[in-house]
Amino acid sequence: MTQQTLRTERDAAGAYEILAAATSEPEVLVVLTDEELIALAGTEATELAGTPFLDTAGLERDPAAAVALRSLVARGLVVLEEDGRENEGEDLGDGSPARRTAQLDRTLAGLLTLRSSPLALANLTRRVADQTTSLMVYLFPQSGVLEEFITADGFHHFSVPARQAVPGRLARYADAAEVAGAADGGSIEGTVAGIESSTDPLAARLQDTRALTVLTTAHEDVTTQVSIMATSDGVLVMDTPQDEAEQTLVREIGAGTLLELLDGALPRPDAL
C-alpha cells in the first residue's frame, strides 16, 4: 500500500502538529515494528535505519509486511473504506484533489512525511557486546527534530525532542554508563593498525571498549563520521579514516567535550 510519492495537505498538517509538540524530555510518540514500517513506507524506507528483526528472523519481507498491514487495519491505524475518512486536501505536488486507496492515522501520516523529508540527518549505531542498536535523528527547518530509536529486536521508537535537548540525548546514548570524565585526556595519532599495535597507554585502553558508537551525519552533500568508544573508565573518540593508510587521531574527551562534539556534528538551528 506504499504511496510515498503522494503528499497531501493532511500529511503536512500532521507533520507540523508533531513538530509543534517537541519537548526537552519527550515521551515515545509511536512504536512501529520492522514489518509495519515496510508495510507503510516500503522496503526503501528502511535502508538507513535497518530492519534488525527481519534480518535475523529469516522471514520473507512481503508476507511479513502483509500480516503487519492487517494488524494496522484492525487497530484503525489504516482505513481502507471511504466512509469516515478525513479530507486529505490537495496533492502538494500538483494541487489536484488528493485521492488514496487507504488513509493512515493522522499521526502516522505526519510521521512518515517527516521521516522521508529531513533537511539533514544523523545516524548513531551503537554496539555493546553482540547487540547493536541505532538512533536516527531527522532535522528540519526552524529547529524541528524527529528521533527514531531502533532496538536490536526491530522496534522503531519515535519521539520529538526539542533541538536544544538533542546533544544531551545523544551523549546519554553513546555514554550510557556515564564514564566520561570531567576533563579531556591524552591523545595518540597514527594509522588504525599503528595505534592498535602501539605501546601507548591510550592505545591499550582502546581494547577496553565496552560500547562502540559510530556517528554519521549528512547535510546537503557533506557527510562526516566519527567513532566514540566508551571504555570502563572514560570516553575516546576517533575520526573514522577512509582507508588503512590514512592517519587518524584518538583522544580522550570529557563529558563537556562530548556534548560539544555531538552538538557540533549537527547542523546549527540558524542554518536550518
Q: Give the Å distances, CA to CA, from 247 to 76, 192, 228.
A: 55, 8, 17
Question: Total domain count for the chain?
Answer: 2
- Per-residue pLDDT tens digits for 152-183: 999 999 999 999 999 999 999 999 999 999 99
Q: Of the residues 94, 117, 140, which one is the last residue of a structural domain?
A: 117
Q: How confident is the model at residue 267 (pLDDT cuts 50, 70, 90)?
A: confident
Q: Which residue has the higher pLDDT, 5 or 110?
A: 110
Q: H helices of the chain, where?
A: 9-20, 34-41, 52-57, 61-74, 106-115, 166-174, 192-196, 201-206, 255-265
**Same domain (yes/no): 113, 172:** no
Q: Which of 90, 117, 144 is the last residue of a domain?
A: 117
Whole-prediction pTM value? 0.91
Question: Which residue has better confidence, 254 or 202?
Answer: 254
Residues 99, 173, single domain; the answer is no
Nine cell digits for residue 148? 527514531
Looking at the structure, do residues 17 and 92 belong to the same domain, yes or no?
A: yes
Residue 117: how many other CB atoms lie within 10 Å: 13
Question: 34-48, 87-101, 124-138: which range is least confident on average?
Answer: 87-101
Query: Is residue 149 a part of any domain in this protein?
Result: no
Q: Does 107 lie in the same domain as 48?
A: yes
In a domain, 172, yes or no: yes
Q: Cell numbers of 239, please? A: 575520526
Q: Is 91 helix (H, G, I), strand (E, B) or coil?
A: strand
Are 112 and 182 members of one domain?
Answer: no
DSSP assigned state of 82: S
The whole-number pLDDT of residue 270 equals 54
Domain membership of residue 148 (yes or no) is no
Q: Is residue 162 part of a domain?
A: no
Q: What is the pLDDT of residues 45-100, one digit of tens each?
A: 898 899 999 999 988 999 999 999 999 999 999 999 888 888 988 888 888 888 88
Q: Tell me the average pLDDT across 189-216.
A: 89
Type of residue at 250:
V
Domain that residue 78 falls in = 9-117
Q: Are 38 and 177 in contact (CB under 8 A)?
A: no
Classify residue 213: in a domain, yes or no: yes
